[in-house]
Every structure is written in structure tokens, then in C-alpha cells.
């Protein structure tokens, strides 16, 4: 590996290696889909009964939705500031119901993320991965999953509640706190998977300490991933525009719809794969930062040159 590579060139190499992991372990592509489908089913299970309430009015009648909102505890909008519309005013029952849905969704998301990250770590060790083994592992981690989900969910609810109570300065401060929270907890799932901590406060502390070792390098890697996906989307837009122009010149306007649909599918697929590569990058960085392990297909030269992990 040449030592003359810039950090962004090294980041591109890291992205390519992450794609290699996906290519060798295509079952990793299943986890986000299953997670989304299951979480959506859980949310619909709680929300659907509300919309099935019979009020004797047509669904297209605005009075139906007004009455439905009143029945579930939404009484209107609060007074907005600076000309902006206010927020819906929720009754205590409605707030608790929505908070319960939020916390259940958090548990589902954490559960599937633990399953997903366990299989990513297995893939980085050269072991076979499967959806069943990931879910079985997550079932064995239900205790830490529930504790972390409750902790993270309550923190999220507190930040959101305080953000809505303060003026614009307070909202800005709370959003900054929310960003800091998200960054500090970026390695929480790998910590849970590795079984290093069960107490959610200890999980957060371990995640933040790992991030502290690799802050600059983590940022470069994530910027590299974002840059690569953005560049690919811009190139696809140029190709789409060229195809549209060619279709108009050849008088085939119907082909434009096909091109547009193909472009949307391609962009969605690219974003999906890049998001998985992002998770692989995160797990690789965590392994190297926590215990110095160089996961395949990465190399010691690439890891040392790209990350230079700080020693405690």
C-alpha cells in the first residue's frame, strides 16, 4: 500500500473493502429489510385500530379526521412562534400511547441491529453469516437490548419534549445536545454485541471512549462514504438527463418514464448498499479501535494509514 495516498483516497479503499464484505456475505442485505418490515408491522399493529374506529362519517370528510383526532386526544395546534405553525396538543393518554409505540419501535430496532452487527462481526472474522443465527444471538441479548432501548428511548423523548418547550435558542441547544448524543452512542450496538457492558450508561461511556480514539478518522470515513454515493448519484443524473434528451430527439417520450423509474430504483439500491457499507465500516473501526484487530479484507497498512488509532 502506497504511503502517498491521501485520506480520501484511503477512504475510497475502505469503501471498496466494505463492498467486498457485502459481496462475500450477501445475506447481510436481508437484515435491514427484515428489520423495517417487522418494525412497520409492530407500529401498524398499534396504530391501525385507531383508524378503524367507526365514526359514521365518510373517510374523505374532513369532519371524520377532526373527530378522530379529538377521540385519540389531539385537541388542536399550540401557538407557533415567529409565524410558524404550532405543534399538535396531545392529551396525557395520547402522549403515553405514542411514547409506548416509540419505545416498542426502539426495542425492535435495537434487537435487529444487534442481530445485524453480530453477523457483520462474524463476516469480518471470515465466518458464515445467516439471518437465523443473527436473530438467535439477539434473543440471547434481550436483557441488554431492553435496557439500552429504554435508556436511549427515554433520552430521545426527554430531548424532544424539552425542545418543544423552549424558544428558538432552547431548541437549537437541545438539537445540539441530540446531535452529541447520537455521535456519542455511535458504537453502542457493537459494545452490546461484544458483551463488554450491559448497563446502558456503561455502554454509552464505552462507545464514547472508543469514538474519542478515532474521531477524526471516523469523520473522514463517513465523509468518504457520503462523497462516493453523492458522486455516483450526480453521475446517474447526468446519464438520466442524456437519456431523456435522446428520447425526446428520437420521439420516444414513453421511454422517459422507464428511465425515471429505473433511475429511482438504482438510486434506492445504491443508497441501501452504501448504508450497509457504512455499518461494516463502523464495525471494522470498532474492532481496530477497541482491541487492535485488523478485520479481513482490510490490511494493517490500510488501517494504520487511514485511522492511526490513539492509544489510551
Per-residue pLDDT of 229-252, as tens digits, reads: 677 778 778 887 888 787 777 777
Above 50 in pLDDT, residue 3? no
281 vs 92: CA distance, rounded Å: 42
284 vs 11: CA distance, rounded Å: 13
Q: Decide if 279 contacts 120 (C-beta within 8 A).
A: yes
pLDDT tens sequence across 198-224: 788 999 888 888 777 655 555 555 555
**Structure confidence at residue 121 as a pLDDT band (50, 70, 90):** very high
Average pLDDT over residues 58-73: 59
For 74, the 3-state DSSP assignment is: strand
- DSSP letters, 81-138, are STT---PEEEPHHHHHHHHHHHHHHHHHHHHHHHHHHHHHHHHHTT----HHHHHHHH
Residue 88: what are its φ and ψ, rounded to 5°? -60, 140
184 vs 104: CA distance, rounded Å: 22
Instruction: Please give the pLDDT value at position 86.
Output: 52
Q: In this structure, what C-alpha cell is assigned to residue 260? A: 425515471
Above 60 in pLDDT, residue 95? yes
Instruction: Please give the pLDDT value at position 62.
Output: 63
Above 70 in pLDDT, residue 190? yes
Strands 74-77 and 88-90 turn out to be: antiparallel
pTM recorded for the entire structure = 0.75
**Structure confidence at residue 154 as a pLDDT band (50, 70, 90):** confident
- To the nearest whole percent, how much of the chain has pLDDT over 90? 16
Above 80 in pLDDT, residue 298? no
- Name the least confident of 59-63, 107-111, 123-127, 279-283: 59-63
Closest CA to 277 of 232, 211, 234, 216: 232
Closest CA to 272 of 39, 26, 67: 26
Q: Give CB contacts under 8 A, 24+ apart, made by 217-223.
A: 217/285, 217/306, 217/307, 217/308, 217/309, 218/186, 218/285, 220/7, 220/8, 220/11, 220/306, 221/11, 221/14, 221/281, 221/285, 221/306, 222/278, 222/281, 223/8, 223/11
**What letter does residue 80 receive in the DSSP assignment?**
P
Instruction: Please give the pLDDT value at position 2.
Output: 42
Above 60 in pLDDT, residue 73? no
**Structure confidence at residue 45 as a pLDDT band (50, 70, 90):** confident
Closest CA to 124 of 31, 48, 190: 190
Above 80 in pLDDT, residue 114? yes
Instruction: Please give the pLDDT value at position 82.
Output: 46
Average pLDDT over residues 277-291: 82
Instruction: Please give the pLDDT value at position 222.
Output: 57
pLDDT tens sequence across 255-273: 788 888 888 888 888 888 8
Average pLDDT over residues 86-92: 59
**Structure confidence at residue 70 as a pLDDT band (50, 70, 90):** low
Instruction: Please give the pLDDT value at position 165.
Output: 72
Instruction: Please give the pLDDT value at position 10.
Output: 64
Burial of residue 14, with CB atoms counted within 10 A of its CB: 0-12 exposed, 13-18 middle, 19 or more buried: buried
Average pLDDT over residues 67-91: 54
Burial of residue 195, with CB atoms counted within 10 A of its CB: 0-12 exposed, 13-18 middle, 19 or more buried: exposed
287 vs 188: CA distance, rounded Å: 13
Average pLDDT over residues 81-93: 55
- Across the chain, what does the average pLDDT equal? 76
Amino acid at each position: 500500500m502506497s504511503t502517498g495516498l491521501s485520506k480520501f483516497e484511503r477512504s475510497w479503499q475502505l469503501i471498496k473493502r466494505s463492498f467486498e464484505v457485502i459481496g462475500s456475505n450477501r445475506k447481510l442485505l436481508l437484515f435491514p429489510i427484515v428489520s423495517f418490515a417487522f418494525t412497520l408491522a409492530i407500529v401498524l399493529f398499534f396504530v391501525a385500530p385507531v383508524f378503524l374506529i367507526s365514526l359514521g362519517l365518510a373517510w374523505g370528510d374532513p369532519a371524520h379526521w377532526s373527530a378522530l383526532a379529538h377521540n385519540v386526544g389531539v385537541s388542536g395546534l399550540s401557538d407557533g412562534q415567529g409565524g410558524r405553525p404550532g405543534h399538535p396538543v396531545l392529551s396525557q393518554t395520547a402522549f403515553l400511547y405514542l411514547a409506548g409505540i416509540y419505545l416498542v419501535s426502539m426495542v425492535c430496532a435495537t434487537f435487529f441491529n444487534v442481530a445485524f452487527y453480530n453477523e457483520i462481526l462474524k463476516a469480518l472474522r471470515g465466518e458464515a453469516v445467516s439471518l437465523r443465527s443473527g436473530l438467535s444471538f439477539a434473543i440471547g441479548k434481550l436483557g441488554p437490548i431492553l435496557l439500552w432501548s429504554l435508556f436511549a428511548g427515554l433520552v430521545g423523548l426527554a430531548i424532544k419534549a424539552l425542545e418543544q418547550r423552549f424558544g428558538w435558542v432552547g431548541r437549537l441547544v437541545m438539537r445540539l445536545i441530540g446531535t452529541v448524543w447520537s455521535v456519542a452512542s455511535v458504537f453502542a450496538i457493537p459494545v452490546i454485541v461484544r458483551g463488554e457492558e450491559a448497563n446502558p450508561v456503561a455502554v454509552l461511556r464505552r462507545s464514547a471512549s472508543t469514538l474519542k480514539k478515532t474521531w477524526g478518522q471516523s469523520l473522514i470515513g463517513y465523509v468518504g462514504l457520503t462523497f462516493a454515493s453523492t458522486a455516483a448519484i450526480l453521475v446517474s443524473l447526468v446519464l438520466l438527463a442524456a437519456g431523456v434528451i435522446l428520447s425526446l430527439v428520437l420521439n420516444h417520450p414513453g421511454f422517459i418514464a422507464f428511465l425515471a423509474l429505473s433511475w429511482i430504483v438504482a438510486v434506492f439500491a445504491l443508497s441501501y448498499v452504501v448504508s450497509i457499507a457504512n455499518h461494516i465500516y463502523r464495525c471494522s473501526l470498532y474492532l481496530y479501535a477497541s482491541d487492535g484487530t485488523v478485520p479481513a479484507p482490510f490490511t494493517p497498512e490500510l488501517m494504520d494509514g487511514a485511522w492511526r488509532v490513539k492509544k489510551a
